[in-house]
Chain A
Amino acid sequence: EAQVTQNPRYLITVTGKKLTVTCSQNMNHEYMSWYRQDPGLGLRQIYYSMNVEVTDKGDVPEGYKVSRKEKRNFPLILESPSPNQTSLYFCASSPGVAASYNEQFFGPGTRLTVL
């Protein structure tokens, strides 16, 4: 089944404890992206990647890191999480290099709470 998977789905952690949220897609998509969703703000793009080893900042990259060493995986790293990073996170992928021309396929989301 074609899908985007994220792990973990739920995570409660404490301030400053490094964490990684994994994202994997099995559709051979070139474009992958991370978003956070907060009440009343919709989705805001954190980072995106147009291909392996090519990443760029979205609108809210502060406090996050990403890497794209393989086409299928795009992990989101929080080196030192803070309470304001408590949010619902979504990973998405798209077939083309220019996601603006293609629909994005979303993962199920990761609900992160930072105490």
Chain B
Amino acid sequence: SQQGEEDPQALSIQEGENATMNCSYKTSINNLQWYRQNSGRGLVHLILIRSNEREKHSGRLRVTLDTSKKSSSLLITASRAADTASYFCATGSYTGGFKTIFGAGTRLFVKA
């Protein structure tokens, strides 16, 4: 069953602009993670935010988490062409085991 749902499914912006992607989930979680995937390759972990945290920063990345709305957002500031990739949120929870559930992803295209 899908847990995280990303929005939008696809996003096209100009280099230098900010990109915002949203993720919603359905059940309670221990943490939420964001991953990046370049065209059919393995996923790379970007950032993890725990359920008791509201905001986290890492370089040009800013992640927020609203557990009351069961949603998270990933902001990439001053985007670059090299940020072109698919971005996935993944929720970790103990519900039914130590599972990780990924959303369908947002495809980001940054035009130079």
Contacts and interface: CB of A to CB of B under 8 A. Distances in A.
Interface in B22-70: 29-31, 33, 40-45, 48, 50
A106 B105 CA distance: 16
A40 B104 contact: yes
A50 interface: yes
A51 to B, nearest CB: 11
Interface string B87-112: 01010111001111111110000000
Contacts of B90: 43
Contacts, number: 79
Interface residues of B, number: 29
Nearest to A102: B48
Interface of B: 1-2, 4, 29-31, 33, 40-45, 48, 50, 88, 90, 92-94, 97-105
B37 to A, nearest CB: 9
Interface in A9-35: 31, 33, 35
